[in-house]
Amino acid sequence: MTAKELHQSFLAGEYRAVEIVEAFFQRIEAVESKINSFVSLRKEKVLEEAKQLDEKKLSGKKLGSLAGVVVALKDNMLCQGEKVTAASKILENYEGIYDATVVSKLKEADALILGFTNMDEFAMGGTTKTSYHKMTANPYDITRVPGGSSGGAASSIAAQQVPLALGSDTGGSIRQPASFCGVVGLKPSYGRVSRYGLMAFASSLDQIGPLAKNVEDIAYAMNVIAGTDDYDATVEEVEVPDYTSFLGKEIRGMKIGVPKEYFIEGIRAEVKEIIMKSIDTLKSLGAEIIEISLPHTKYAVPTYYVLAPAEASSNLARFDGVRYGYRSENSQNIEDLYINSRTEGFGDEVKRRIMIGTYVLSAGFYDAYFKKAQKVRRLIQEDFIKAFETVDVIVTPVAPSPAFQLSEQKTPIELYLEDIFTIPANLAGIPGLSVPAGLAGGLPVGIQFLGKAFHEGDLLQVGSAFEKARGDWKLPILD
């Protein structure tokens, strides 16, 4: 069932909340050993919460908009009294002392939180292989990566362990795994969803968003998690529409831009074929297809890999072995404590990005790298502003290729280039939606829709129209 169907069946009395939770745990127990989507589960606690929800329904009290819906959280969103680790040894025993705002909103909507999904350590990676805990597999082919860093969230939906999950997206970490795992994922505009309680990677780029089986469930989730928050000053005071009102609308007359810079050498032929066929589908629905240019796209990856590590080096300075988290036992003095705790607690990719970030922020290189990257970021943002003067939505691939082998040893640079189509949206602060478009050799390929800041509704409108035209999408059967 989709999240909406679960909610409706609960309201209609077809299933009790306890039955729903028990059914999903049976599914998790049946397939988790193959997929490894979850870091931790809340079985006893969520069953107790389900009993309370059943009692609330029997008493006739008003129910929330996600009552009866089970949800998974990425392992970087704080939940009071729960172990949340960002998939890092340095936080392996950390317990949240408050709820992230999105968690509070889910609880207010009567959603049932099953557990926390695996991810790349501190959201740094595109494979979920940098996790301290385990390696997650792609349900379409368990020898392949699920994408990252929200790989556990995407795989949990593709494996039908949950119908709805929350991930975070700093450079494509919702959209890329959504594409690899054949599910739908939305990165909202920067400032649309509160980041309070999200463990920071790069604060000017991070954004929480939903993953689900279809566009409709994304709209229902956004109705719950979007909006202002007194605890997060970066959330814009922009009116939140009813996102479900955009579903099922025609896209006839809508202008859709196709940027020539996104169809470059290096994109796999079968991926390009699926995207071009999808563009023809949009055209057949009455959309006007317009070629556009985003000339600074080629600078997006190097710009991102200056700015994101710089912010990471600053944000991760708090993990020093003193106040909380892992503390090295091999320390004779305070300097040893800092060095050894961080050396032993962080993984290789996190260390790599901290070192890059510290370098570009250092006195001799700040102007040459960080300051220049900020200027290029503005140019990338202006490219989108100019493009949206003539088009309503932009369509692109999500990734240059389908999911690759878990055993494949790509260099850091090769892995960074996997994000070439998703990073620009984060730098510009605009929303991006990944929707399954087709299969290449049995592996899912997603199409990406980009929109104006705070116009997620346009993406849901196009995404739902495309989804309907594409037809039913089959998730893998895991026996």
Residues noted as catalytic: 74, 149, 173
The structure tokens listed for 225 are 């998690």
Name, in order, each residue with C-beta under 8 angstroms of 336's C-beta and a sequence gap of 6 or more. Answer: 328, 330
Backbone torsions φ then ψ of 74, nearest 5 degrees: -65, 145
The structure tokens listed for 463 are 């995404």
Name, in order, each residue with C-beta under 8 angstroms of 10's C-beta and a sequence gap of 6 or more. Answer: 16, 17, 20, 57, 67, 68, 69
d(CA 198, CA 77): 5
Name, in order, each residue with C-beta under 8 angstroms of 29's C-beta and a sequence gap of 6 or more. Answer: none
DSSP 394-462: EEEES-SSSPPBTT----HHHHHHTTTTTHHHHHHT--EEEEEEEEETTEEEEEEEEESTT-HHHHHHH
d(CA 135, CA 120): 9
User: SS3 breakdown of the chain: % helix, strand, coil, rounded to 5?
Assistant: 45, 15, 40
Does residue 274 sit in helix, strand or coil? helix
R_g of the chain, CA atoms, integer Å: 21
Does residue 393 sit in helix, strand or coil? strand
**CB atoms inside a 10 Å sphere around CB 146:** 34
d(CA 194, CA 197): 8
DSSP 57-92: HHTTPPPPTTTT-EEEEETTB--BTSB--TT-GGGT
